[in-house]
Structures are given as C-alpha cells and as structure tokens.
Amino acid sequence: MKIIEIVSHVLQYDLDEELGYSQQYYSKRTAHLVEVRTDVGITGWGECFGGGNIAFANKTIVEKVISPMIVGMDPLDREVIWHKVYNLVRDHGQKGMPIQSMSGIDIALWDIAGKVYDKPLYQLLGGAFRDQIQVYGYGMMLQRVPDLAERFERESRSIVEQGFKAMKMKIGLGVDKDIKLVESVRSSIGNDVKLMVDANHAYTTREAIPLGRELEQLGVSWFEEPVAPEDYQGYRELCEALDINIAGGEAEFTIWGFRDFIKNRCVDVLQPEVCGLGGITQYQKVLAMAQAYFIPIINHVWGSAIAVATNLHLVASLPDFPGAAHPTQPMLEYDTTPNHFREDLLATPLNILPQVKAQDGFVALPQGPGLGIEPDMKFIERFSV
C-alpha cells in the first residue's frame, strides 16, 4: 500500500455575527481538512489547526512541501514518515505552521491504519478506558457590542439548558471588565456548574496574578492561557502564586516544545492540541511525558467534526487520573458557537448536542474503523475555497 495523493480542503463561510477572543475578531468560519489517498482505495482524513488565512498558508505547506516528501511511502509507516518530514523542515519550522500542516496528515495516516485493521482509533491507541465521555460547553466568545455581559448571561444559561455540566468562557478585555463578565456568568449559572475561563494569553504575569485571585473567589476551575505561551517563567510564577488551576499548552508543538513546559510544571492542566502539535504520533509522546510528571491532560479542541471525532478517541484512551476507584475523568471540549463544519460536515453526524441533552452531559464513542466518520464530499465542494 502506498500514498498516491494528499489533498487540502480549505472550507470557509461568512458568519452571521463577528466573534473573537483576546487577540482578534473574525467574521469568517474556516476549516482546513486533509485527505490522504492510497493506491488500494483507502482514504484517511485529518485536520490542521489554524484558522483564517493561516489555513491557506498551511494548505500550501501540505501540498507543495510535505506531499512531495511522502507520496509513494507506506501510510502505515507513521513514525518513519513523521521523522522524515520533521528532519527535512526543522531548519525552517520547528513550531507553528509546518507542524500544524504535518498534524493533519498524521491524523489521516492513523485514520487509514484503523481502516486497514478494521479497528476504531481508540483501539489502536490501546483501548478505551470509558465508553462515555463528559463534554464541557465552550462558548461566550468576545464581541464588540455594548451588551456583552447580558449576552454572556443568556448564552451561559443556554449552555446549561443544553445539558452541559461545565462550560468555558472567553476573557481578555482587561482585568476589571473580565471580573464583571465572570461575575455575570457565575450569577447566571449558579455555583453547581463548573466554570473555566480562557484569556488567550492576554496578560502579563503581574496582571494575571490579581485577576486569578478574583477568579478563585468566583469558583473558577481553571485559568487558561493567562500569559504568552513562550513565558514559561510566568506560567510557573502563576502556579506558585495562585490556588486556581493554571491551564495551557494549545500553542506548543512537538515533544521538544512540551519538554520544558512539562518538566518545569508550568501548568496544572495540560491542553495539547492534536491538530497543531504534530498529530497523534506526537500527542502520544506528549501524553507519556505528562503522565511521568503527574500532570492531567484535558485536550484543546477547536475545529470541524474531524477534530471532534479525533479527540473523542483520544479522550477515550486517556487513563484515569489519578488511578482510583473514583477518579476525575477527562472531558471533551466542545465549541457551542454556530459552526456548519462541526455540525453538518459528516455524512453521518456525531450528534454531540443531542447526546449531551439526552445523556446528562455525556456522549458515546464512534464505533467505525479509524476515526469512525466519513465527510460528505458534496458539503466539502460547496464550502471549498
């Protein structure tokens, strides 16, 4: 069996309303899917992290840089392929877009392997520790509107009504404004719903410490990406200064990038992004390193239904942490803002939201081979740019 072609599909459409986070606002929804075709008719699907115009740069890297390196190779040689690509691009990109691009290809190779062996991905990873996964709702994106607090209150109530027992909101507007936003949401949902906040590295350590103390008083479970991803010392200082869990890692790449981040215990909760850090091949190594340092993992998830399906398998295959009769179970992050690429991409939808509502916040695992999903090609053609 050989790889005969690798195709990038950049999908995009205009949003009804602008959404944002602390670094930018955007008016288009974008997804970058990767299709790896073989000479025996088996096709694998993956996804590259990186929205907006980043997706177009990554498409070029996938098709013009990486594809010529690996077409003709056996898709089951995932480790060999990964190291060949990395060794050839490391002088030009040890982090960032080249690694994001390789991530989508690597996920597609794992999908192919599952289809070859007729096994779901989680079995290739060693089996499922659970047959149901708790999901937390991610919403409350920033908007440039005067009634943002009221919108967050309505949206947070809606997330609870959909069956979620935990949720995450955006912050990053400034310490005082952030505190008021979190107060509004906490008042809206009550104290029994777990609440997390994501600053997308909007702050310096000196700003984040007093904000973190206020978040502690509001019962926030974790403070995500409070400072720049390069600021390892700042992360460490926050872990030492605050009782609230510090979370991060979505903007880190490969085992070499995660090595010092983990070794120096920069976070209490590690959030690897499999569609960005180097794919499942690298994710497994990062997972092993985090386990060696007793740092729990809750994956960062952002993208289409392919990213969601991939993470369902990964979360299923995460060991209980800590190992005990009543451990804290890992959760699946699920974006609840409008997204056709999440809800309508697949020939058979994942139906996450109906499952959350019917199963008290939990969803079942995909059961087909590989990722257990199949994109609708007519849908892809409709939204391809």
pLDDT digits (tens, 9 = 90+) for 166-180: 999 999 999 999 999
The answer to the question of residue 129 being in a domain is yes
- The active-site residue, picked from 32, 201, 300, 313, is 300
Q: d(Cα 32, Cα 326) in Å, to the nearest integer?
A: 39
Question: Is 114 found in the same domain as 139?
Answer: no
276 within domain boundaries: yes
Q: pLDDT tens digits for 327-371?
A: 778 999 999 999 999 999 999 999 999 999 999 999 999 899 999
Whether pLDDT at 20 is above 90: yes
- If asked whether residues 23 and 55 sit together in one domain, one would say yes
Nearest CA among 297, 247, 244, 240 for reference residue 274 = 297
* Intra-chain end-to-end CA distance of the chain, in Å: 31
Contact 99, 107 (CB under 8 A): no
β-pair type (194-198, 166-170): parallel
The question of whether 300 is a catalytic residue gets the answer: yes
Do 92 and 227 lie in a common domain? no
Beta bridge pairs of residue 43? 37
Residue 172 and residue 54 in one domain: no
- Considering the domain architecture, whether residues 330 and 190 belong to the same structural domain is answered as yes
| Mean pLDDT of the region 116-124 | 98
Q: Based on the fold, state whether residues 87 and 204 are members of the same structural domain.
A: no
Instruction: Report the number of distinct structural domains present in the chain.
Output: 2
Task: Band the pLDDT of 326: cuts 50, 70, 90.
Answer: confident
When pLDDT is cut at 50, 70 and 90, the band that residue 182 belongs to is very high
Q: Kindly state the average pLDDT of the residues 94-107.
A: 98
Question: Could you tell me if 108 and 174 lie in one domain?
Answer: no
Say whether pLDDT at 258 is over 90: yes
Give domain status of residue 369, yes or no: no
Q: What is the CATH number of the domain that holds 33?
A: 3.30.390.10
Question: Is it the case that residue 66 has pLDDT exceeding 90?
Answer: yes
Same domain, 93 and 107: yes
The reply to whether 46 and 103 lie within a common domain is yes
Question: Residue 167: how many CA atoms within 13 Å on its side-chain side?
Answer: 31
- Domain of 347, CATH number, reads 3.20.20.120
Are 297 and 227 part of one and the same domain?
Answer: yes
Q: How far apart are CA 299 and CA 277, in angstroms?
A: 11
Average pLDDT estimate for 253-270: 97
The verdict on 205 and 331 lying in the same domain is: yes
Domain-located, residue 370: no
Domain that holds residue 221: 122-364
**249 and 348 housed in the same domain:** yes
Q: Is 371 within the bounds of a domain?
A: no
pLDDT, tens digit (0-9, with 9 covering 90-100), for 138-155? 999 999 999 999 999 999
C-alpha closest to that of 139 among 355, 263, 302, 317:
302
The answer for residues whose C-beta is within 8 angstroms of residue 71's C-beta and 6 or more apart is: 2, 3, 4, 5, 6
